Amino acid sequence: MSICHNEGPWIELRALGRSADLPDVEAVTAGPVLVTEHRQKHSFFFGDAEIVEISLPDIYIVYGDVALKKHRLRFRSTDAPDFVELHFSISGGGRLENFVSGKSYRFSSQEHNIIYEPEFDGTGQFHEDGGYQFLELHFAKDYFIKALSGNGEMIDRFCEQVSAGRFATLAETNMAMTHEIRQCVSDIINCNFKGGLKALFLNAKCLELLTLQARASLAFDRGGAQSVLKSKYDIDCIHHAKDLLVANTDEPLTLQELARQVGINEFKLKNGFKELYQTTVFGYLSDIKLHKAKQQLLDGIPIKNVAEALGYSSVQHFSNAFRKKYGVPPGKTRV
Give the integer Cα–Cα distance in Å for 223 and 114.
18
pLDDT of residue 12: 39
Strand duo 94-98 + 168-169: pairing: unpaired
Per-position DSSP letters for 113-158, written without gaps between them? EEEE-S--EEEEEE-SSS-EEEEEEEEEHHHHHHHHTTS-HHHHHH
Give the integer Cα–Cα distance in Å for 16 and 275.
40
Is the C-alpha dihedral spanning 125, 131, 46, 119 positive or negative? negative
For residue 95, report the phi and psi dihedrals to the nearest 5 degrees. Answer: -145, 135
Q: Domain 10-224: which topology?
A: Jelly Rolls (2.60.120)
pLDDT of residue 63: 94
pTM as predicted: 0.64
Task: Determine the CATH number of domain 232-332.
Answer: 1.10.10.60
Radius of gyration over every alpha carbon of the chain, rounded to an integer in angstroms? 20
What residues of the chain score a pLDDT lower than 70? 1-34, 45, 78-80, 128-130, 220-227, 334-335
pLDDT of residue 13: 33
pLDDT (tens digit per residue) in 228-267: 777 778 888 888 898 888 888 778 888 889 999 999 888 8
Helical packing angle, 141-148 and 153-163, nearest 10°: 160
Q: According to CATH, where is 2.60.120.10 located in the chain?
A: 10-224
The helix or strand, by DSSP H or E, that contains position 319, with its residue range, turns out to be helix 315-326
pLDDT of residue 223: 54
Give the integer Cα–Cα distance in Å for 290 and 325.
8
pLDDT of residue 327: 81
Q: According to CATH, where is 1.10.10.60 located in the chain?
A: 232-332
pLDDT (tens digit per residue) in 67-99: 877 777 777 776 667 899 999 998 888 888 888
Three-point CA angle 127, 138, 121, nearest 5°: 55
Compute CA distances 297 → 61, 63, 109, whole Å.
27, 23, 22
